[in-house]
Amino acid sequence: DPRNAFQTDEELDALLPEEGYEIVAAPASYVPIRTPARKLMATPAPQVEGFQIPEQAKVDLPAVELGGVGALPFLKEADVQAFGRLLEKVDEDDLSTTERKEREVLELVLRIKNGTQPQRKAAMRAMTERARELGADAIFGQVLPLLMSAQMEDHERHVLVKVVGRALQRLGAAARGHVHRILVAVEPLLIDTDRYARAEGHEIVSSLSKAVGLAAMVAALRPDVDHSDEYVRNTTAHALAVVATALGIGAVLPFVRAVARSTRAWQARQTGARAVRHIAELARSGVLPHLRALVDSVAAQLGDENQIVRTAAALALAALAEAAAPYGIESFDTVLRPLWMGVRQHRGRGLAAFLKAVGFIIPLMDPEHQAHYAREVVPVLVREFDSADDAMRAVVLRVLRQCIGAAGVPVSLVRDDVLPAFARAFWVRRVALDVRQRVLVLDATAELAAKAGAASVIELLIPLLKDAAAPLRSMAAAAVARVLDELGGLDIHGRLEELLIDATLFAFQEQAGDARSVLDALAAAVTALGPRARPYLQQIASALLWRLNNAQPPVRQQAADLVARVAPAMAACDETEMLSRVSIVLFEYLGEEYPDVLGSILSALRAVVASVGIAEMQPPVGDLLPRLTPILKNRHEKVQEACIHLVGCIADRAPEQVPAREWMRCCFSLLDLLRAHKKAVRRAAVSTFGFIARAIGPQDVLATLLNNLKVQERQNRVCTTVAIAIVAESCAPFTVLPALMNEYRVPELNVQNGVLKSLAFLFEYIGSMARDYVGAVTPLLEDALVDRDLVHRQQAASAIRHLALSVAGRGCEPPILHLLNFLWPNVFETSPHSICAVLEAIESCRVCLGAGPILLYCLQGLFHPARKVREVYWRIYNMMYLGAQPALVAFYPRFQDQAENNYCRYELDYVL
């Protein structure tokens, strides 16, 4: 850069006078710092020519030529300091063995980190295969500093973690000298906020433990258990828990117990308690065999002189109780009294830990003791409702759920002492804005309703449904919906019914935005009341009709969604005329331009059709279906699914009320939807296509579908083959198979492949009915298996796969064995799709014929002199071994005893 260039002697002479100055020589040991990283980070000098539009800084770095892969396209600025040595041209003959290995590792890491996908795969394979040759020093010496770099991006750290994991698998015990360095680099991942990063860290520590053994891991972790830094102790506890899950809790337990009972420093005792807690969180029910020992290792810390240790011990016991539920109460007998004393003596975070432990131990007790401890704990919980600490409030809510759920807690205690204080402390606007606390409050409210009754809780929530704050209204509506869905409305009667409907309808009309919970509350209230909701339906219907005519799309969508939810309740109340009025209004809005609103309208129409029936439906389905056919071409997934379900409902209930020509139009539209991206849309299209084929008969539909097999577009042909199978399932296979087999005579590859694919789908769909047609299709499949075209044989193998599975146990072994004779020569195919289809067909033949015949086919090649032949036959044998190993025993060949080998196994030997 000319702005950062050094000043020449001529420029300095022009600036400074010649007299009075002397040029001093540089010291002999002076070496200027001109590393690439320093040049990149140099601060540019200010512009002197005036303002210029700044250009993006570009660093011209030479591409690094890597042997066998080619030049890497780029080096980032942050990479220059780590990979700067690769920019230097050196003669490899002048390098020592260690330097050469380090340079090779650096090149491989650069390919893995910055290379393209093929470069990354090749470099990763080379690194894995040559790990022992390169050595642990060279690999970890280059990878671990990069892994700890703060400038490393997430995807780069991910690939480097994979490098470490694969290197550990190959190096094994050779990595023992680098255990501590690897842990320092990987332990921060164990407490990362990203769960994928935590999973990667867990995998690396687990692989390291299995590679180097328990002694090396303990030796590496021991210095950090009483470290002065809280962060180091936390990561050490996490690492110790991972080691325990990898090598077995029983193996690590003595070390954990010694750390937890350490008398040297309270930091070690805290780390031990944390390790027990994390072991419980990772192993879950796996702690049960070691539960008593784990509890005993932290029991003494409940009375420790340091409150941090007491808190850690209580949290460890809470995690152990949660993991062991509903077993293991006898293991906690020794800690019940210290925990209860801690609840009485502590305040703040210490009290939260002890409360949490008691709360998770209570569900493990028998009902009598549950009731006793719950009654004792509830006053403490009510006192802490007013705590300002969010962590304490979260613990109180979780413990409250455990205590209220206890069998012996009296209902009067909940109604009189808990509910009023709970509503006053937690049903406030501040809680409604806190997402985490909101979920806990809703769970606790549902538990209180289950104990005290739905009416008692809903009576407290009704005023909140009319609150001025929208978040609190939404939260109250979510609670009402959950309580009514879980408990019903049998205890809601009289004035409370009126207040509930009035409050939910008010909240529904006052909602802003997409407040789904309010809609759920109103729908749950109408459904829970059942026939008792009839006096209020007119008011609800008026609100619905008004909102369906609203100018805002979200309002119209919510109204349509509510119609879909309350239509069954309206039909149960004999309000058919009201539903007809609503359906006419919905029919008029089928020209809706917003796809989300249109999808909701179609779902509402389907609910009305299912509720009132086809006979009383207004408008008639003969007028409704022609309006739906153009909507099937809509590309929006919600509209597609709702429209297909509505068409299928009509085709299933009243196919005779619609002309056959209209049904054919629907068939052509559904054919395109068989390739939809969303699986629910494809499944709906499959079922609806079957209803329509059953309604109008298979002949017209089948003729059109067989013509579609001749088109060039592959996706269209695949959808056609699926449709043919659906028609066969709906209208019986004998209506389709003759025409389908006749179409195979057409000397066109696409048509024949389409027929074979149709047969595969057909046998998959019709199941055991295929036993009546296996003899008819055998000559066709035989011809396809000897065709020269690879795809032809692949499709035939797929058809045999489904055919063999469909007729297994139906007495169709001879034709399947005949087809197996033609299938077996294809085992040496090299195309991935083809060999997978052939092997799957052989596995299906094994299900139909049994493992014995396949084993006899397989024995001839297991010891063949050609390696490629042996590989295929052993692959088939391994598949059989996994699928039917006991069935193979009777078919193993007999070998005569020899002088040095005895192959016979007598019954007495294996009985004993």
Tokens of 719: 């959808």
CA 328 to chain centre: 31
Would you say residue 747 has pLDDT above 60? yes
Position 880 scores a pLDDT of 93
* CA count, 13 A, side-chain hemisphere, 103: 20
Q: Which of 139, 118, 117, 144 is nearest to 128 (CA)?
A: 139
Position 622 scores a pLDDT of 82
- pTM, whole model, 2 decimals? 0.72
Please tell me the distance from the alpha carbon of residue 176 to that of residue 212, in angstroms, as a whole number: 6
Tokens of 861: 């090649």
Residues 6+ apart with CB under 8 A from 870: 861, 862, 863, 864
Q: Which of 440, 418, 510, 443 is nearest to 470 (CA)?
A: 510
Residues 6+ apart with CB under 8 A from 639: 595, 598, 599, 602, 631
Cβ pair 753, 791 in contact under 8 A? yes
Q: Is 305 helix (H, G, I), strand (E, B) or coil?
A: coil
Cβ pair 514, 472 in contact under 8 A? no
Cβ pair 670, 659 in contact under 8 A? no
Summarize the confidence of residues 236-242 as an average pLDDT: 96
pLDDT digits (tens, 9 = 90+) for 85-127: 777 777 777 788 888 888 889 888 888 888 888 888 888 999 9
Q: pLDDT > 90: what percent of the chain?
A: 49
Total number of residues shown for the chain: 912
Would you say residue 197 has pLDDT above 60? yes
Instruction: Work out the number of other CB atoms within 10 angstroms of the CB of residue 749.
Output: 12
Summarize the confidence of residues 275-291 as an average pLDDT: 94
Q: Which residue has the higher pLDDT, 371 or 846?
A: 846
Summarize the confidence of residues 587-601 as an average pLDDT: 91
Residues 6+ apart with CB under 8 A from 302: 310, 313, 314, 317, 335, 338, 339, 342
Summarize the confidence of residues 425-449 as an average pLDDT: 93
Would you say residue 74 has pLDDT above 80? no
Residues 6+ apart with CB under 8 A from 792: 749, 752, 753, 756, 784
Summarize the confidence of residues 696-725 as an average pLDDT: 82
> Residue 510 carries which side chain, given as an amino acid letter?
E
Would you say residue 819 has pLDDT above 90? yes
- 65 strand-pairing partners: 71
Dihedral angle at the C-alpha atoms of 358, 364, 370, 373, nearest 10 degrees?
A: -20
Summarize the confidence of residues 852-869 as an average pLDDT: 91
Per-residue CA distances from 611 to 393, 406, 625, 627, 649 (Å): 46, 41, 18, 21, 11
Cβ pair 608, 583 in contact under 8 A? yes
Q: Which of 434, 451, 317 is nearest to 371 (CA)?
A: 451
Would you say residue 16 has pLDDT above 60? yes
Would you say residue 751 has pLDDT above 60? yes
pLDDT digits (tens, 9 = 90+) for 887-908: 988 888 887 888 888 877 777 7
Residues 6+ apart with CB under 8 A from 705: 671, 720, 723, 724, 727
CA 531 to chain centre: 42
Whether the upstream peptide bond of residue 32 has omega within 30° of 0, thus cis, is no
Would you say residue 47 has pLDDT above 60? no
Please tell me the distance from the alpha carbon of residue 742 to that of residue 502, in angstroms, as a whole number: 67
Per-residue CA distances from 277 to 19, 316, 319 (Å): 79, 4, 6
Cβ pair 395, 352 in contact under 8 A? yes
Q: Which of 115, 112, 56, 66 is nearest to 87 (CA)?
A: 66
